[in-house]
Each structure stands twice: as C-alpha cells, then as structure tokens.
Structure 1
Amino acid sequence: MYGVSTKVNTGFDETIDRVTAALQSEGFGVLSDIDVAATLKAKLGVDQAPYRILGACNPTFAHKAISAEPDIGVLLPCNVVVREDDDGQVNVLYMNPLDVLELVDNPQVPGLAAEVRERLDRAMASIKD
C-alpha cells in the first residue's frame, strides 16, 4: 500500500495545525503546502472539498538518503495529505516510505525508510489524541 491513512475528529484547519506540529515534533518541516482545492477553483472553476498536500522533510534523513542515492530526490519530500470528505470527515494520509522506497535498489535505503515510517507513525498517532 503506497499510503497510510487515518480519520480524525477535528476540523480541517485545526487538523492542518495539528499535523504540522506533530511533524515538527518528529523533526520534519513542511517545505511546501499545496492547496489543491484553491488551485482547482482558480484554474478550473471547480469546487473541491478542502484538500491540501504538505511536503514534509526531515533534513537529517533527506541528507542520508541523498548521500546514499543521489537520484532519490524524485521521491522526496514525504507527502502528507489532509482532505475533507463531502460529509465533513477529515482524513490524513501520508506516503508509506517503506513501499515507495522499495523502488530504490540500494541496501542503505530500507533502514532509512523504516526510521522515517516510525516517525510518521508517531506523528499521526499524536494527532488522534
């Protein structure tokens, strides 16, 4: 499975704040914040439920990964999606680094992927409190 998801009981904006703080507590910064709903509205005139893609990066792990495999940047950063369903339910999803980084044929990468996955799991568990 390329992604891991969880549903939360907080509103969309509060969830964005909680996810950002949870990522920071695990050493990730948000390098990019793509507001898909706003972009679709502006470019296509399409109404879309709130949907944002946060590009999360842990500099230490990014450095280790790029040092081990210079082309790995095409798989970085770790995307975290916060989206709202039509019924108002908010979902948080993140790329599963264990599955995605299996694409890289380098024995140093699986260990890094496992550490990143552990941190993302902890961050996501903390937003459900």
Structure 2
Amino acid sequence: MTASAAEQGDKLKLTLVYDSPYGFEETLESLRNTIHAHNFRVFPDRYLEEGLVDEFSVNTRQISVRFCNFSDLHQALQIDPQVGVVLPCTITVIENADGKVQLLTGNVQAMLTLFDNPDLTAAFHDLEQKYQAIIDEVTL
C-alpha cells in the first residue's frame, strides 16, 4: 500500500502499512525528525518485542516510535475520556527479511468506529491529517 491509498476498504483495517523507499536507519531518522517538525514530542523508542523475549533475542529492526502532542491529547480527552485507550501515538518501523522497510500505524478511521461522537470525529480528523502528513513526508 502506498501513502496515497486512502481507499474505502482501508477504513476498517485496524493497522495501515506503508512502504518506505529508504533503508531502515534513514526511515527511522526521517520519522523522528518529521514527528518533531509536526510539533509532537518523541519518547524513547521501543523494540517491538521488548519485554517479550530476552534482550539478546530482540529484533532490532522492528522499532516503535512513540510520540504525543499534549494539546491534541488534552482536547481528545476533554471530549471523551475513554479515547485514551485507543490513541494511536505510535508508528512502528520494520525491516522485513527481504530488506523491505515498512511503517505501520493505527488507523484513525477504524478507531473512530468505537465512538459515536461528532466532536471526537472532528478532533480525530485533524489528528488523522497530521499522521498522514508525517507518513507522506517520510515515504516520499
């Protein structure tokens, strides 16, 4: 799937997958820089398998980049405190066995189906646009 694939069928997929034309390290660095540029705070990276396998067996080519814009978070929580359990504040970068690098992120549209709140829909629309801008910049 490419960054422009916002097709109807994608709306219910919980996870969206984007191919990166760059190597793992370049994609990861670009992602961190782009997240910062979009006014998000970046937290320490986590290996996807961290805590699930011993530290010597962790796949170091699967990293979750965690981030947050506290203003957006506060706005969403004011609308509906339950939204805190589904906020998609992570983009995971993986390198497959064939060397292909992909970015995985939560699908904001799918998360919205859990709520019936027009105010939350508007807030998440803004968040979705920010996420898409980040993905577009990293994968172009």
Report the TM range for the smaller structure's normalisation: 0.7 to 0.9
**1:37, CA displacement in angstroms?**
4.7
Q: Which residue of 1 aligns with 2:40?
A: 28
Q: Higher strand fraction: Structure 1 or Structure 2?
A: 1
TM-score, structure 1 length as denominator?
0.84
Once the two structures are superposed, residues 105-128 of structure 1 have per-residue CA deviations (whole angstroms, 9 ceiling, x without a partner) of 322111111111111111111112
Separation (CA, whole Å) in 1 of partners of 2:67 and 2:107: 13
Once the two structures are superposed, residues 66-108 of structure 1 have per-residue CA deviations (whole angstroms, 9 ceiling, x without a partner) of 1111122111342211001000111012111121132123221
Consecutive unaligned residues of structure 2, counting only runs of 5 or more, are 1-12
- After TM superposition, list the pairs within 5 Å mapping 1:1-129 onto structure 2: 1-37=13-49, 39-42=51-54, 46=57, 48=59, 50-129=61-140
RMSD of equivalent CA atoms: 2.1
TM-score, structure 2 length as denominator?
0.79
- Length, aligned pairs only: 128
Consecutive unaligned residues of structure 1, counting only runs of 5 or more, are none
Once the two structures are superposed, residues 1-48 of structure 1 have per-residue CA deviations (whole angstroms, 9 ceiling, x without a partner) of 2222211122212211101111122222223521125655525x6464
Query: Are the structure 2 counterparts of residues 50 and 14 from structure 1 closer, same or farther at C-alpha, using a change threshold of 3 Å?
Result: same
SS at structure 1 position matched to 2:104: strand
Misfit runs of 4+, over 4 Å: 37-41
What letter corresponds to residue 74 of structure 1 in structure 2?
V
Q: Check whether the contact 1:30–1:55 (CA below 8 A) recurs between aligned residues.
A: yes
Q: Higher helix fraction: Structure 1 or Structure 2?
A: 1
